[in-house]
Amino acid sequence: MLKKFSPEQTDRIIEMAWEDRTPFEAIEFQFKIAESEVIELMRTELKSSSFKLWRKRVNSGISKKHLMKRNPEIDRFKCSRQRTISHNKISKR
């Protein structure tokens, strides 16, 4: 059973699911939907060819869509390359 989401929420779920670095657990934490519901949402919202491409990529060994496949020390949903903002200035590289 697929939950009803606003168009903005649906777009955000699809965006998060499409990103390789965003695990299913982050989507579940934010939107309270399981991996199977994300897959069902992607199947209904995407074109057939886009869905097949996404599933192929997620099922490959390269994808890190599950926290179990990632480094076990990661306990947050933030990219390691993301800089912090301090004193109202964006950190420079």
1 domain residue, yes or no: no
| Domain extent at residue 13 | 7-90
Q: How many domains does the chain have?
A: 1
Q: What is the pLDDT of residue 41?
A: 93
Confidence band for 59, pLDDT divided at 50, 70 and 90: confident
pLDDT tens, residue by residue, 20-46: 888 888 899 999 999 899 999 999 999
In 17-60, at which residue ranges do the beta strands (DSSP E only) sit?
none
Q: What is the pLDDT of residue 38?
A: 92
DSSP string computed for 62-90: T---SGGGS-TT--SSS-TTPPPEETTEE
